[in-house]
Amino acid sequence: MGFKPFPVKDLRSYTVLAFWHKEGIDDVKFREYLDKKYGVIIAGGFGEVRGKVFRIGSMGIVNRQHVIKTLSSMVKAFKDLGFTLEEKAINLARAKLRELKKDV
């Protein structure tokens, strides 16, 4: 999808994924639209990165369907709001998920 991860690799969390927004994206508008239209809730950033990054939780029960729904809903929401993203991320995610153990 072309988003740059935040923060640098050595400081990333195992419980939440964070990414820099692309130029011109209104963080609040995007997150509210994603929730209202597609039922997917993601969080924004805090402090100096408020409005510049978004966060996706990965704690608790997260299954393959959650991952695909989140990615595909994000692509649709960005398109609805006038931004173009590479949809190949969804197919790549599906391929990676197929490689995982069934009981994970």
Give the tens place of pLDDT for each residue, 57-82.
988 888 889 989 999 999 999 999 99
Q: Which domains does the chain have, with CATH numbers?
A: 5-99 (3.90.1150.10)
Mean pLDDT value across residues 23-51: 96
Buried b (16+ CB within 10 A) or exposed e, 4-36: eebeeeeeeeeeebbbbbeeebebeebbebbee
Helix intervals (H) in the chain: 27-38, 64-80, 88-99
CA-CA-CA-CA torsion sign (24, 28, 29, 35): positive
